[in-house]
Structure 1
Amino acid sequence: MASAFLGGGGENQMNMPQIEIQQQNARTAIQQSRPQMSVRQPSATLEINQDLAGTLNISRTASKLYIDQSEAFADANLKASLRQSKEWSQIGEQAAMAYIAKTAGQGEQLKKIENGTNATPFIARQNGEKPQRQAGMVMMPESAFKVRFNFVPSELDIESKWGKPTIHARKNDPEIHIPKWQTDVYLEQKNWITFSAAGSTVNQRL
């Protein structure tokens, strides 16, 4: 605010009125608004569908145990007809070969009678004597290994069929909020001016 005075001075002069002027300049103000920026990121949307109505197949074969007692029965002379006939054939063939060898040997002995050998009584005694039988104890069957075992274990087969999961993923864009900044300029105080008169007495001596 400013003030000024207008008028004359001196005691011999007329007391002139004085004008007092008061004024006030205008004044402006600035107001700013700067709100903060905000960023929000929503989570992604994930959907998973799984069909649990699958199938499970389990199959199993039966285990098998094979027991072969043919050799153990053979020790007790319990044999199949084909095997029995084959063995008898072999025994007969061996007996025939042994008889031929024995007869041939005795013939050779008889050929030497002319040399003064006494082969006839020896051959008669050899043909007339029966072999002595010997008694003994044997195991039946002779060994436990005569019984053979063959075991085939069972087999387990498992087959499962399950549906594959269906996965859907969807991203969500970020939410960004940027408010605008604002600056306001306003008149905080108006300008004004006033005039006033003072000292209106007149010096009459003049």
Structure 2
Amino acid sequence: MNIPKLQVQTTQARLGHQVDGSQQTIRQPKAEWSIQQPAAEMNIRQRPGKLTIDQTKAWNNIDLKSVAKRSDELAADGRQLLLEGIARMAREGDELMKIENGGQPIPSHGEENAKLDFTFAPGGLPAYDLVDLSYEAASVEMDVEPQKPVIQVQPQKPQHTYQPGKVSFQLEQHPDVQIDWKV
């Protein structure tokens, strides 16, 4: 006996899909900024220094002396001449006391006293060493007040764009069931 057989044949469904990717861009613009540095406030105070020039020795060297200096020198010269004159007169007196010892003291005294003997020495030229220089520097006072920088910043927001992707599905193969009887 032949029993019919049931034969079932199936085809599965097949899905297909297509993906369009998403697109995203992020851009960060630079911040706008400015920096300014104000100049520091500075005050400098200095009193003038003291310069002293003493050229008294140079003037004395070329015989341009002050009245006081010239008076002192003339007084000293006069004192010296007085002492020399007293010594000369004492010597001449001693020679006259001893006239009996011979010689001719009176004519020799006349000849000696008739001569005019003097010397004149004008000074030399002023030299560098004869001028005294001194300088006394004054102190310097400085006040400095620094200034803080002025910084201004304007941040920029990020620029963001996003385009979502797509996923599409399609049925590429339909399901199928075939039933058949075979004897």
Partner of 2:171: 187
For the pair shown, which has the larger CA radius of gyration, 1 or 2?
1
Partner of 1:43: 30
Q: What amino acid is the match of 1:27?
A: R
Does residue 125 of structure 2 align to residue 143 of structure 1? yes
Distance in structure 1 (CA, Å) of the matches to 2:58 and 2:39:
58
Distance in structure 1 (CA, Å) of the matches to 2:73 and 2:127:
22
Does residue 119 of structure 2 align to residue 119 of structure 1? no
Q: What amino acid is the match of 1:26?
A: A
Partner of 2:7: none
Q: Which of 139, 150, 168 lines up with 1:166 in the alignment? A: 150
Q: Give identity over the alignment, percent.
A: 24
Q: Secondary structure at the match of 2:109?
A: helix
- The change in CA–CA distance for 1:57 and 1:75 in structure 2 (over 3 A counts) is closer
Q: Secondary structure at the match of 2:86?
A: helix
Q: Which structure 2 segments of 5+ residues have no match?
A: 1-9, 179-183
Q: Which structure 1 segments of 5+ residues have no match?
A: 1-22, 195-206
Give the number of equivalent residue pairs: 169
Q: Root-mean-square deviation (CA), in Å?
A: 5.7
Q: What amino acid is the match of 1:42?
A: P
- The change in CA–CA distance for 1:171 and 1:107 in structure 2 (over 3 A counts) is farther
Higher relative contact order (CA 8 A, sep 6+): 2
Partner of 1:131: 116
Does structure 1 retain, via aligned residues, the 8 Å contact 2:14–2:171?
yes
- The change in CA–CA distance for 1:54 and 1:132 in structure 2 (over 3 A counts) is closer
Q: What amino acid is the match of 1:165?
A: P
Shift in Å, 1:85? 1.9
Q: Secondary structure at the match of 1:167?
A: strand
Distance in structure 2 (CA, Å) of the matches to 1:52 and 1:116:
105
Distance in structure 1 (CA, Å) of the matches to 2:62 and 2:177:
151
Partner of 1:99: 85
TM-score, structure 2 length as denominator? 0.52
Shift in Å, 1:32? 2.5
TM-score, structure 1 length as denominator? 0.48
- The change in CA–CA distance for 1:120 and 1:173 in structure 2 (over 3 A counts) is same
Partner of 2:5: none
Does structure 1 retain, via aligned residues, the 8 Å contact 2:40–2:145?
no
Deviations 1:169-197 (A, max 9, x none): 68779778787776554423444679xxx
Shift in Å, 1:31? 2.0
Partner of 2:13: 26
* 1:42-81 matches, cutoff 5 A: 42-51=29-38, 79-81=65-67
Partner of 2:3: none
Distance in structure 2 (CA, Å) of the matches to 1:89 and 1:122:
30
Q: What amino acid is the match of 1:30?
A: H
